[in-house]
Amino acid sequence: MRDTMIIQRFTLLFMLAFACLSHSMVQAGLYSGVNLNANQLGRGFDSQLSALRNHCVMGEIVTWNNTEADISYAGLKSHERYLEETYGRVKGGVNLVLFAGSVSASLSTRVTENSRTSASSIKLLYHATDRSIENRKLSPYGAAVLTQDEIAIDELCGSEFIHHLKLGLEISVTTKLHFRSIEDYQRWVTKVKVRFLFYSKTKTKTKEWLELTENAVYSIEINAKGGMTDRLQAILDENTIFCVTSNIDACIDTTSRLFEYLFSEMGYIVDIRDAPKQVISFSTTPYLISGHLELALPPNAEVNQYRFQDERIRTRLYANQQMKEALYAFAQVEADEAIRVELLARVSLIEENIELLDQAAALCRTSTDWLICERAVDEALYGQTKIEY
């Protein structure tokens, strides 16, 4: 009886494969290597829920060197666009928070603009090695899973598997202007058309610029995926990274030291030569395309429910992360100790809000029952403390 059901399912999937081959190929995804290590080739992935599953296929690991470096500039970019470019492209979008938790919101808010912050970011990417899994077959675990029903197979193996990894190092240098109000930010973007925030001392600050940024805080931040070195950390620890705009020279000195180290022939490139490489990105292949029809199942009809929960968490996460970043920046330049303590207290409350949301996302990431996910999100949103920005 079970063999007959499997044959019927294979026939249906086989027909769908030929009728919609190009559509199926689109479903293969490219994702950022968040929460992934180099031993994950063959691991299952649920492309609809954006969640990692178990190793249900195995094969020969092929490794080849493909050394290249890239530098890019990101300015005037919203976190939505940044996330789309950074965290994955699959049909219908990726459930970013369910996939990467608060990491997705944290990284995106650090290098992008919002309604109170202007940002400029330079990203360095060092791509060193590629790995893929070839000559694939079911793993012992994958073969054992076939004795279970379709729901269990989908829950344990997902709809795709990790086929290819890119290993390397990634680092972003971001400068920001944090404004105290939306109105201050709007005046800035209306008056200043070229908003490149890597300044030099030779560039004269006009009276208008100083007036527009009078209450703003300038900050410098490094975000590294395996790319932090001792010398780079020392530059951040030993130099000023938060400045009021009326006294910005110390921050300009810091950016100069950062770029001198990053682009010197005896600087960053030397330090990372033997550093352990991390997963920068990974790509997946549907079981249907790979020929593992035993694991290829119909789409999850409840995927839109998960996407809705992802959006609910994401909205609050972004708001919390943006407030946390700005309030922390204001605290770093505040001369009044009482005000500074109060600002940091608000940062602590925001971190508690983020933790609640992250816990809900983690539960949703591992549950195939969307009602359980919905209840967790409801509780996390209900437990949010309102913070004055």
**d(C-alpha 212, C-alpha 209), whole Å:** 5
Contact (CB, 8 A) for 113 and 119: yes
- Amino acid identity at 372: I
Q: For 277-334, how does the pLDDT look when each residue is reduced to its tens digit (9 = 90+)?
A: 888 888 888 888 888 888 876 655 555 667 778 788 888 888 888 888 899 999 999 9
Q: For 61-115, how does the pLDDT look when each residue is reduced to its tens digit (9 = 90+)?
A: 999 887 777 776 665 555 455 555 544 443 334 444 455 554 554 554 454 566 7
- The per-residue pLDDT for 233 is 92
Name the H helices within the chain.
2-19, 21-27, 79-87, 96-100, 102-111, 140-145, 150-157, 182-191, 207-212, 230-238, 249-263, 268-271, 287-290, 303-333, 337-366, 370-382
Would you place residue 149 in the very low, low, confident or very high pLDDT band (cuts 50, 70, 90)? confident
Q: For 242-268, how does the pLDDT look when each residue is reduced to its tens digit (9 = 90+)?
A: 999 888 889 999 999 999 998 888 888
The tokens describing 190, both together, are 């209306």
Chain-wide mean pLDDT for the chain? 78
Portion of the chain with pLDDT greater than 90, in percent: 26
Using the predicted structure, report yes or no on whether residue 224 has a pLDDT greater than 50: yes
Instruction: Calculate mean pLDDT across residues 145-158.
Output: 85
- The per-residue pLDDT for 356 is 93
- The per-residue pLDDT for 341 is 95
Residue found by looking up tokens 């300009």 in the block: 252
β partners of residue 221: 174
In 3D space, the residue among 101, 91, 92 whose CA is nearest the CA of residue 32 turns out to be 101
For 230, 244, 253, 273, the CA distances from 234, given in Å and listed in that order, are 6, 22, 14, 19
Q: Range with the lowest mean pLDDT among 28-42, 96-110, 129-143, 189-203?
A: 96-110
In 3D space, the residue among 122, 380, 161, 373 whose CA is nearest the CA of residue 285 turns out to be 161
Phi/psi at 183 (5° precision) = -65, -40
- The per-residue pLDDT for 201 is 65
- The per-residue pLDDT for 219 is 93
Q: For 17-32, how does the pLDDT look when each residue is reduced to its tens digit (9 = 90+)?
A: 333 333 333 345 677 7
Contact (CB, 8 A) for 300 and 155: no
- The per-residue pLDDT for 57 is 94
Would you place residue 4 in the very low, low, confident or very high pLDDT band (cuts 50, 70, 90)? very low
Residue found by looking up tokens 């296929």 in the block: 57
- The per-residue pLDDT for 3 is 41
Q: Range with the lowest mean pLDDT among 82-91, 188-197, 211-220?
A: 82-91
Would you place residue 12 in the very low, low, confident or very high pLDDT band (cuts 50, 70, 90)? very low
DSSP 93-157: ---HHHHHTHHHHHHHHHHSBBTTEEEEEEEEEEEEEEEEEEEEEE-HHHHHHTTS-HHHHHHHH
Q: Which residues contact 324 (CB under 8 A, 6 or more apart)?
A: 347, 350, 351, 354
Phi/psi at 70 (5° precision) = -145, 145
In 3D space, the residue among 48, 13, 69 whose CA is nearest the CA of residue 284 turns out to be 48
- The per-residue pLDDT for 73 is 65
Residue found by looking up tokens 């970011």 in the block: 121
Instruction: Calculate mean pLDDT across residues 375-385.
Output: 93
Q: What is the end-to-end Cα distance of the chain in Å, rounded? A: 63
Q: Range with the lowest mean pLDDT among 40-44, 154-158, 225-229, 252-256?
A: 225-229
